[in-house]
Amino acid sequence: MTATTDGPAGPGVSGTKHREHDSPGTVPPDQDSVTGRAERTTARAVEYLLAVQDEAGWWKGDLETNVTMDAEDLLLREFLGIRDEKTLRAAGRFIRSQQREDGTWATFHGGPGDLSATIEAYVALKLAGDDPGAPHMARAAEWVREHGGVARARVFTRIWLALFGWWRWEDLPELPPEIIYLPKWFPLNIYDFGCWARQTIVPLTVVSALRPVHPAGFRIDELHRDPARPRPPAPMAPATTWDGAFQRIDRALHAYRKVASRRLRRAALRDASRWIIERQENDGCWGGIQPPAVYSLIALRLLGYDLEHPVMKAGLASLDRFAIWHDEETRMVEACQSPVWDTCLVAIALADAGLPADHPALLKAADWMLGEQVVRPGDWSVRRPQLPPGGWAFEFHNDNYPDIDDTAEVALALRRVKHPDPERVNRAVARGVRWNLGMQSSDGSWAAFDVDNTSRFPNRLPFCDFGEVIDPPSADVTAHVLEMLAAEGMQDDPRARRAIAWMLAEQEANGSWFGRWGVNYLYGTGSAVPALVAVGLPTSHPAIRRAVRWLESVQNDDGGWGEDLRSYIDSEWAANGTSTASQTGWALMALLAAGEKESKAVERGVEWLAETQREDGYWDEPYFTGTGFPWDFSINYHLYRMVFPVTALGRYLHGDALERLAGRDA
């Protein structure tokens, strides 16, 4: 993993600095109009982005989540017997650096203390040698006890504790490996779960069946409210409720464990291991994300795979690539890496900012993206067996799970590049468009990875309390697909018209849209308005005017826009938060698409971006504006603070690059 760069690249952007490029928009330094300031701001940001492009053509910013990634990485290494002191010390430094004054760890910047994150961080630090009597440890333990102790932690946290004998397996929900045999039409079959959840659940069925214990050599009594009675009985909900029904199903599964056929159980474990191995990517990871890789390695080790086995060696090597080292002293683990997503967004931003369509940086990015197209079937083909592949994934290596959102944005990026082999681009984009259209859900919308993955049963399982485990359609993904279809001249296609109708029906009463994969109503609205205008809605349309009024009403006094992650659980937080560069970019993109370039709101937003930019072209943004699971798992994409302001500023100055290219071609 390339270390995070400092200096010209600033914090939080991975990549290789190379030759300087010419940038657009050079203006006299005494031009103080809004337009002049926008040009200077854009020029600095463009230079920054060009400087951090990797030689291979891609961009990738750090993907920051929370310390459970770091804690679980250490716990995995302890469980497998492969821990080393350098990693232990460096991870411990990072975990300590994220602790707050009250002793807790949060899951996003400025958020409340999180019980499970605090427990996992505490245990990891104790593993690293921190004295439980030290003030920072004592504060954490006291807070955990005050908030219910280990018994109130999420199931996944208690699974980690059970691996080391700190919790009883009998007191965890049961998830038998025989679930792998449930047919696709049966409720709670593995394809009823979102791809990220099924990749995690299958290996966890193995772990749950085998119930391993690797004694850690110390106790965690200080994290229980009553160490003599650490597992108070959970109240049983009425049988007439869904919670009560699933609690009783869990009891039945615990009873089934005692009578399950040993022959069937052995077969299920064998087939689960085959399922896991078949989905290992070429780089050794699973789905390009850390959690499935961690649990898959544990499951395969329990099934007898030696650490020197090629599958295990490749898997462990892939986890090392998730680590970002700062000065060889501090180590942060990414949950995932986002080069395809970052690269297509940067390419769009640079093109919209006025970079020539045949600029070397854009050509290298296009060539790299073209090489990343997924051309073999993956898990999505279980529901769409006749659909030819052609999508793009989010990560460096993830051929099993390309996603609809990346595919749409890569197509939009490629159309902004004047490539020397246009037929190659045309073929790739055509494959991507065909695949995305084939992944349309029955109501006319699109989800991220799967089709009609909307069963509500998986979320109700007692086992599944770690965040969203299904992949329902969302306004932001549907908007990006519509924008792609408009770029391909398909806005009048019946499938596009159905999606437009779905989008209009999804608009909130206040004029906003809910953002599934970004925070939150600002992201949804910033995605929806440009897409709807692109497919032909006039800017005078009532839906567009409602969105404009809402965006103007929620602009912060400083001229920017911001929204806290708490909007996912409390609508009072909708568009309520400290101004950020990325969220201000989303709001401006929507307003500009709606024809509001001359409005006071746009002017103030542009000025806020100009005033808050650093001299090196970067914007500081500690706030998390990306979403993994709404509320439960939040992401700070370190390039969001660059690509969306640059896109907005470019459109303020020049309009959309696709429109410019279309006009030139005409």
Q: Give me the count of residues in the chain.
A: 666
Contact by Cβ (8 Å): 483, 412: yes
The Cα 412–Cα 658 span in angstroms is: 8
Partner residues linked to 626 by β-bridges: 518, 635
Contact by Cβ (8 Å): 547, 508: no
The Cα 36–Cα 653 span in angstroms is: 10
Main-chain dihedrals φ then ψ at residue 443, nearest 5 degrees:
-90, 5
Q: Is 110 exposed, middle or buried (0-12, 13-18, 19+ CB in 10 A)?
A: middle
* Three-state DSSP class for residue 22: coil
Nearest CA to 435 among 503, 494, 375, 477?
Answer: 375
Q: Of 70, 405, 406, 564, which residue is the catalytic one? A: 405
Q: Is 452 exposed, middle or buried (0-12, 13-18, 19+ CB in 10 A)?
A: middle
616 is catalytic: no
The Cα 338–Cα 318 span in angstroms is: 15
The alpha carbons of the chain give a radius of gyration, in whole angstroms, of 25
Main-chain dihedrals φ then ψ at residue 526, nearest 5 degrees:
-65, -25
DSSP string spanning 475-509?
HHHHHHHHHHHHHTT-TTSHHHHHHHHHHHHH--T
Per-residue exposure over 120-138, b if at least 16 CB sit within 10 Å of its own CB, e if not: bbbbbbbbbebebeeeebe
Which residue has 């409390």 as its token pair?
A: 570
How far is CA 168 from its chain centroid?
32
Contact by Cβ (8 Å): 616, 8: yes
Nearest CA to 626 among 525, 520, 551, 531?
Answer: 520
Nearest CA to 628 among 128, 66, 155?
Answer: 66
Percent helix, percent strand, percent coil in the chain, to nearest 5: 50, 5, 45
* Three-state DSSP class for residue 189: coil
Which residue has 């995690």 as its token pair?
A: 200
Which residue has 């019980």 as its token pair?
A: 115
Hey, which residues are catalytic here?
A: 405
